[in-house]
A and B are shown apart, each in its own frame.
Chain A
Amino acid sequence: MDAYKYIGQPVVKVDGKEKVSGAALFTDDLEFGPDLLYAEVVEGPHAHAMINSINTSEALKVPEVLAVVTGKDFPYNFGLYMNDRYIFAQDRVRFFGEQIAAVIARTPQAAIKGAQLVKVNYTPLPKVLGPLEAIAEGAEILHPDLMNYVHVPWFFPKADSNIAHHRKIRKGEPDKGFEEADYILEDTYEVPRFSHCAIEYHAAVAKYDHSGRLTVWASSQSPNTQRNLFAKALAPLGIRHNDIRVIAPHVGGGFGSKAGVTMEIMAAAIAMKVQGHPVKMMWNREREFYNTYQRLGVVAKLKVGVKKDGTITALKHDLYWDAGAYVEYAANVVNAVGLSAIGPYNIKNVSIDSYCIYTNLPPGGPYRGFGYSEFLFGLESHMSRIAKHLGIDDVEIRRKNMIKEGDLTAYGAHMNPNGLSEAISKVAKEIEWGKKIKSKNPDLAIGKGFALFWKAPAMPPNASSSCFLKFNEDASINLLISGMDIGQGLLTVMAQIAAEILSVPTSKIRTENPDTDRNPYEWQTVASHVTWSCGNAVRNAAIDARDQIFALVARSKFLPADSLYLEDEKVRCRTKPDFELSLKEFIINGIQMDDGTYRGGPVLGRGIFMPEFSSTNADPDTSQGGHPNVHYTVGAAAVILEIDKQTGKMRILKVVEAIDVGKALNPSLVKGQIVGGLLQGISTVLYEEMKFDHRGKMLNPNFTDYKIPTALDIPLEIVPIIIEVAQPDGPFGARGMGEHPMIPVAPMIANAIDDALGLRIKSMPITAEKLCLEILKNNK
């Protein structure tokens, strides 16, 4: 048993008191004084149209309007992985509600009035609202400049098409694999778009002062990435990285929506046109739905061949993604799924084609799960259907094919150590798999569903983290990192890592959300990778500080450095039990020698982490050869679902989920992620549904018509199970798990419906209304 004092403990969140007291400040809570200006965007009323002219003269006559900016002011493109996006629309709009201009005024009311008076003349163009339509012969091309966009080397756009990227995997001999199969199941699964629904809107305030300094306060998962993209996009205006400072207050929910750069760049750009004034740009609930990233939709064609005993002989997975009008971030969702769409299985013969397709709908982008929820819906539905056909148990077919440590992934890299087998066993036991439950009420049907999941962080191979650790006189610590606490508890867990190594209690460690001037670099808080990556940087910084402490004590107290250790904020010596020296006695002001001189000085730890083994170099026709994913986090989940056959209404009687987190640095926070993530997953299956009309306009951009669950809509019983098979390169063995809880939910519920009613639903969502109609149609 490990003897950790802080690691593995349910430490209270370091920002908990701010949040329960109301003291926590979010971007819109900050005050900027009487000189603050407000910006309001002008939105295009077409899904696809050429912009002929923009007339701003009436808007400029509105009292208190200072300026109007349009795409002409910023003829620059930008993007995270592919520069296909514009600050304001240039010659055309590509989705309903796209920003064309902004009006800047002294009051929000004047800005809104001005925005209503901007006259835009359009010529509508044919539009494509679905991925298959967009790749059909003769489809309207959305981005004629596609081949000119700068992009990362692992993207492969197709000329004269709407395919912005095609990730292709070929492993083994898929054709031969299907020939060897005793049974082949082939079907199509559809998953529509979803919205993140963070309760806090996007918000950004920017000020370009008269010294040429651009400061941006933004609700963001990605302060450093924002600075980088602002600096690159706005470079023609004469601004450099060190002129830009991004400050990230608390974030009121992210889930991917506040990763990368979206509306914040408008605030940054506008500020440069009204030098000297802070400018605020606030989104509202409607725009949260139609003008931020949405989760991508997908049409997935899946073919799996198996032997009679359930052994998979081949898999072919073709995924057509509805990636929206701009795919600078979405294309990497498509890429990540292309690499991982075999699921957590050991399959020798594989063919995967994952297509990133432009459509005239809002830009797709990162959403908790990063495409894995979407492809697992089909794959894990398929596994249960195959089991049923063969007469094999659902759990057994998964156990037979599951990936093990050292097995090859679809792209030929070795699978990391993992506890998938343990997760399967524990979930099956807890849900009493195999034991049927029957309701006494004839209107109620009860079924059980099972699903496995896996997910790797999707990130560039050189995504890195760093940390500065500085001591104060009383041996308290300021831990400077740029990983964001977006509620998951990153700051707390980072404090626990430093606490463990330096024997300083977490209550004496202050770590706050970053300011890019003060805190060292972090790529972004995405991909469930910061506990692992930023955690390694913090560990390295703490070890660096500890080494400095030991070296100082060794040379000033004449003790062997390797005999020293830390305990309760003191340095102790294994070979000299009565020696002890409190950190606070020397950590800033050094140790005095017999001659009155001092040795030492402030102890400053420095730590960095970059996964130097990761590479995206691979054959583009097969994806073999690289190591694009650093590791996978795996798990299993199961549900007991009760269905009212008269209404289609479903109730979750029990849900069990086991995740191999490597090491639960803070089990209270891990369980929080599981319980919260499960409900977000359940919500996408049972309640949420975006409605678009024939014009591509979203019809229900509000919480009245787009439903997320309330406290009355939760499962009756939730059992989170933590599995700990250490990640060898993780801090104390930890790996990420923030996104994972929601990703097995959709297939698990679809499988439970099949178990209860013998009815297979192959498209999401599965609302009560939809299920009720299916029950009627199928006489169930």
Chain B
Amino acid sequence: MPRPLKRLLAILVAVPAAATAGEIRVEVRDPKGAPVADAVASLTPLDAAPAVQPPAEPVAVLQEGEEFRPHVTPVVVGTRVTFPNRDAVQHHVFSVSRAKKFDLPLYRGEPREPVLFDQPGVVSLGCNIHDWMSAYIVVLATPHFARSGDDGVALIISVPPGRHRLEVWHPRVKATLTREVTVEGAGSATQVIALTLGVDRRVRRAPEAAGSGYK
């Protein structure tokens, strides 16, 4: 099949689906009602295998100001991620997570190759030079997902109707929260998720001027 035809087919498949798709608005709050950012909400169709289409271009997770940006990046299985270094200093990005172990020894600028995330799961990123740098890449087996912003809202659009498993993950929550939801035709439904956050395990950045603490 020639490539334009293939692309057209994809559009034809997608458009009718989009025409009948609904959206789920997930509001993530902590027990006090404050919005929780960096939560990843995903919907997995229960009655049909989800159509997984990794994006053609790699997703970028930057290193800027000796921090990863963004902190949490949800991707679909098969997505390639690149780690451009915008800092003057070198970084050594690595993961020892089961979903994807990789090592990008000291480099400046663009790394040579993007990293392919081909297994679903949570990948914890670190920098071997800067202990406080941490980020997550959440590799999902479904294309229906969203990350909550500062308002705590993760809006999942273009969800085909039917029963879905809603999963909400957050770096400070051990177990993924799971809930079954049904998406009606072209409606919009809101799911309010309450998360009890655990201890922030991010290593705090050492103050520049501070000496060694004696504790």
Is the A/B pair a real complex?
Answer: no
